[in-house]
Amino acid sequence: MYAAIEAARHGAGRVLLLDRSLIGRGGATVMAQMTVAASVGPGDTPGFHLADTLAAGRGLCDEALSALLCEEGRDCILEMDAWKVGWARAGNGFAQVQAPGHDRPRCVYVDFLNTGPAVSRTLRAQVQRVGDAIRRVGELAVTDLVVQGGEVTGAVALDVARGGVVTIAAGATIIATGGLTRLYARNSASANMSGDGYALALRAGARLMDMEFVQFFPIGHLAPRLVGMDPIMWDPFRYKLGGRLLNAAGEEFTERWGGGVEAGGYTVTRDLATYAITKEVEAGRGSPHGGAWLSFSHLPAATLRAAFGPVIDKLAANGIDLTRDAVEVSPIAHYHMGGVRVDTRMRTGVPRLLAAGEAVGGANGANRLSGNAITEAFAFGRVAGREAARIAAAGAPRGFDAGSATALLSSSGPARNTAALVARLQAVMARDVGPFRTASGLARAASVLAELRAELGEAPPGAPGAAHDLARLDWLDLR
């Protein structure tokens, strides 16, 4: 959405903003609950933010992209403020919390649990304000880019709602399809986060980087079963109340694995907390379902209620009393640091093809700081939109022939239980391509993937033209 707005602001008169779901409602942005990092506090600078980003990335960041995230991202946070996103205030400035890995309070938020919906709503409103220059079309799943004479000249999509095939000619194309965590059995993803953009980019000749850098959110809810609650809901609790991460013996353990002492605070970065929990489980000191205990029982009921009243009621409806009961948590696939390799103008190296947001690799190295992802989506979207407008204005592509790209969507193969294939993929990814990987585990995963590939066959099940054919859509995702 930021890319579309910026492209229109830079003179692109015919921007098409499309999504396989509803615009602004299908990806991670609308799901974000928490905070957005930017150096907008007194005394803070993009340079300080950059130093923390590079340290958290464990020396593996593309530093030019990290710097762009911190600098351009700061401007975007201020622009979003002008667009009335409603960042919470404290005194004369923004209210900011300190997330693990940041050297100071640097994360803005909207009403604590409302950041993602507010961000998405603000951008949707801004897109609307731009007017006719941006055309929005939902429920179009892009399945291939059209490559002609070495340049990307548009895309081919499945019209999910009506079943038809849609071809789109474009002077410039931006991949902003988010991440890939739906590939894992335990994830915080929506159904649209299957890594489509990486596959589109790769098939069009672009390069991917750091694809092994999946971020596991360490304290995803594990047990007891909760109905109607988000698996990453314990993060806000940790920000506000600290809480204690404990092993089966009731001991705090992050220090043992290099994470430092938390002492009831919230300081350990995601990679180290994931490492510590996984190692503790491996050593036989995990919680009953294979994770760690998260306890707030040292806090008085009044403190819990003052911080999270309505959530405390929801927990009570699920049979949990936090003054008495600890919950079990364990790492859950959450974000992808790797992705499409781009330069600082979001160009992929394939003419007329750009990428933005979580789909891009490199800015966060091997581990992302809390709050950097929304900032990255804003900043890289804005840069990509500007560049796309420039490319489109510089001249039209030589041609547009979507013939071969549409062939697959017009074909029909035998019926298949694609939901079962998705479940098998997610299980093998969780077992063998999780936070810890070994040569034998990866070899086993590779052989399961080869089996799945063979079972998939060469054509999607179902008839071309059928509306809402989810088995067909699953097949295209699995491809």
Q: Which residues are catalytic?
A: 270
Q: What is the CA radius of gyration of the chain?
A: 23
Q: How far is the CB of 39 from ligand FAD (least distance, A)?
A: 14
Which is nearer to ligand FAD, 181 or 247 (by Cβ)? 181
Amino acid at the residue 345: R
Distances (CA, A) of 19 to 31, 266, 355, 395, 405: 16, 36, 15, 26, 19
Which is nearer to ligand FAD, 356 or 421 (by Cβ)? 356
User: Which chain residues interact with ligand FAD by CB under 6 A?
Assistant: 18-21, 26-29, 31-36, 115, 141-142, 176-178, 188-189, 192-193, 196, 232, 335, 357-359, 371-374, 377
What's the rounded Cα separation, in Å, for the pair 84 and 122? 7
What's the rounded Cα separation, in Å, for the pair 255 and 80? 39
Q: How far is the CB of 182 from ligand FAD (least distance, A)?
A: 10
C-beta separation of 194 from 477 below 8 A: yes
Q: How far is the CB of 201 from ligand FAD (least distance, A)?
A: 11
Q: What angle do CA 288, 293, 295 make, to 5 degrees?
A: 145
C-beta separation of 385 from 3 below 8 A: yes
Q: How far is the CB of 123 from ligand FAD (least distance, A)?
A: 9
Helix, strand, coil in percent for the chain, rounding step 5? 40, 20, 45
Q: How far is the CB of 192 from ligand FAD (least distance, A)?
A: 3
List phi, psi (to 5°) of 22. Answer: -85, 145
List phi, psi (to 5°) of 281. Answer: -65, -45
Q: How many CB atoms lie within 10 A of CB 384?
A: 29
Which is nearer to ligand FAD, 69 or 246 (by Cβ)? 69
Which is nearer to ligand FAD, 67 or 142 (by Cβ)? 142
Amino acid at the residue 435: P
What's the rounded Cα separation, in Å, for the pair 57 and 51? 10
Q: How far is the CB of 395 from ligand FAD (least distance, A)?
A: 26
Which is nearer to ligand FAD, 286 or 371 (by Cβ)? 371
SS3 at position 66 = helix
The burial class, CB within 10 Å (0-12 / 13-18 / 19+), for 282 is exposed
Which is nearer to ligand FAD, 223 or 229 (by Cβ)? 229
